Amino acid sequence: MTTRSGNFLLLDTPSLYFRAYFGVPDSVRAPDGTPVNAVRGLLEFIDRLVRDHGPDSLVACMDADWRPAWRVELIPSYKAHRVAEEVPGGPDEEEVPDTLSPQVPVIEEVLDALGIARVGVEGYEADDVIGTFTAHATGPVDIVTGDRDLFQLVDDARGVRVLYPLKGVGSLQVTDESLLREKYGVGGAGYADLALLRGDPSDGLPGVPGIGEKTAAKLLAEFGDLAGIVAAVADPRARLTPTQRKRLTEAAPYLEVAPKVVRVASDVPLPAVDTTVPRAPRDPAALDELATRWGLGGSLRRLLVTLGE
């Protein structure tokens, strides 16, 4: 893995192409009539991000497995509502809009022809790839995602921020520790504990019944972290209400496994890859062919100009 010590931009690519798909009309089509709204929208996102943030290194992180078996084994409800079809031996097929699925291979081919590093690792989600690149980074890191789960990586001391799209990528919430404390009452290190206590229906995480976001933040402020809360449950002198103690006691089996599910991995076996922002396409002939076939037009041309600057 080759990285530079300057600003590192990590893209949660599935999160961004889903946003592009729903943000760009499906009337944006290739010459043969195939929708390419997610492809062109993602290229426009990358163009804007590179122009605005001038990264030295850039990685499009991918889901090689959107619902890893090791997470499902611990919490069977994990993303279960998104399964379109169970595949013996996995990974299961995710429920994705019919006109988005065919665009993902096109996105991958275009990124490869451009020379933008694209990394997915078998058995892991894009979040885990991002977590591992972040752990290895030697300089500032900006993570671009519409997934709040990655707030857990925010770390002011290491210069790790999350750029959270509020509308497209023209309006990004720059998420640092002060913003997290203001909005959620915890810093980056506490966000995963907050999330697993609160639960997240969109990921099939049940949380602790009756413990919402505000109560979870108060408990973390009082006891420091999840381990401190669990220790308090066992300590009759700890300042917990009888109801809180009962709910946390009943949730003990969940609390034992949830941290491994909710916390992003930081030890993914990353492939050797050059993360330097490309200044010229890696494969110009392939890129020309893709541009013509899929009608990528101005979206691709603008990105090429930006990369070359």
Task: Report the pLDDT value the prediction gives residue 216, as an integer from 0 to 100.
Answer: 97
The pLDDT of residue 4 is above 80: no
The pLDDT of residue 214 is above 60: yes
Contact 39, 296 (CB under 8 A): yes
State the Cα–Cα distance between residues 18 and 15, nearest whole angstrom. Answer: 5
The pLDDT of residue 210 is above 60: yes
Among positive and negative, which fits the CA dihedral 198, 204, 208, 212? positive
Task: Report the pLDDT value the prediction gives residue 6, as an integer from 0 to 100.
Answer: 63
Residues 250-308: pLDDT tens digits?
999 999 999 999 999 999 999 999 999 999 999 999 999 999 999 999 999 999 999 99
Buried b vs exposed e over 212-237: b needs ≥16 C-beta within 10 Å?
Answer: ebebbbebbeebebbeebbebbeeee
Q: How far is CA 221 from CA 17, 206, 227, 260, in A?
A: 36, 22, 13, 22
Above pLDDT 70, what percent of the chain?
Answer: 97
Closest by CA position to 58, among listed 12, 14, 16: 12
Above pLDDT 90, what percent of the chain?
Answer: 89
Task: Report the pLDDT value the prediction gives residue 5, as an integer from 0 to 100.
Answer: 42
Token pair in block for residue 267: 């030890």
Token pair in block for residue 151: 């707030």
Residues 98-149: pLDDT tens digits?
899 999 999 999 999 999 999 999 999 999 999 999 999 999 999 999 999 9
Polymer length of the chain: 309
Q: Are strands 171-175 and 160-167 parallel, antiparallel or unpaired?
A: antiparallel
The pLDDT of residue 80 is above 50: yes
Residues 8-30: pLDDT tens digits?
999 999 999 999 999 999 999 99
Residue type, 98: D
The pLDDT of residue 84 is above 50: yes
Residue type, 91: P
Name the band, by pLDDT with cuts 50, 70 and 90, for residue 93: confident
Mean local confidence (pLDDT), 176-201: 96
State the Cα–Cα distance between residues 114 and 298, nearest whole angstrom. Answer: 15
The pLDDT of residue 87 is above 90: no
Task: Report the pLDDT value the prediction gives residue 168, as an integer from 0 to 100.
Answer: 66
CA atoms within 13 A on the CB side of 182: 5
State the Cα–Cα distance between residues 61 and 271, nearest whole angstrom. Answer: 12
Task: Please give the torsion angle defined by the CA atoms of residues 247, 253, 257 and 263, in that order, rounded to the nearest 10 degrees.
Answer: 0
Q: Which residues contact 13 (CB under 8 A, 6 or more apart)?
A: 42, 60, 61, 62, 107, 118, 126
The pLDDT of residue 171 is above 90: no
Task: Report the pLDDT value the prediction gives residue 94, as an integer from 0 to 100.
Answer: 83
Task: Report the pLDDT value the prediction gives residue 81, as an integer from 0 to 100.
Answer: 87
Token pair in block for residue 303: 């990105």
The reported pTM is 0.94
Task: Report the pLDDT value the prediction gives residue 86, as an integer from 0 to 100.
Answer: 78
Mean local confidence (pLDDT), 38-65: 96
The pLDDT of residue 2 is above 50: no
Q: Could you tell me the end-to-end alpha-carbon distance of the chain, in angstroms, rounded to an integer?
A: 25
Mean local confidence (pLDDT), 225-236: 96
Contact 177, 216 (CB under 8 A): no
The pLDDT of residue 245 is above 90: yes
Question: Across all residues in the chain, what is the average pLDDT?
Answer: 94
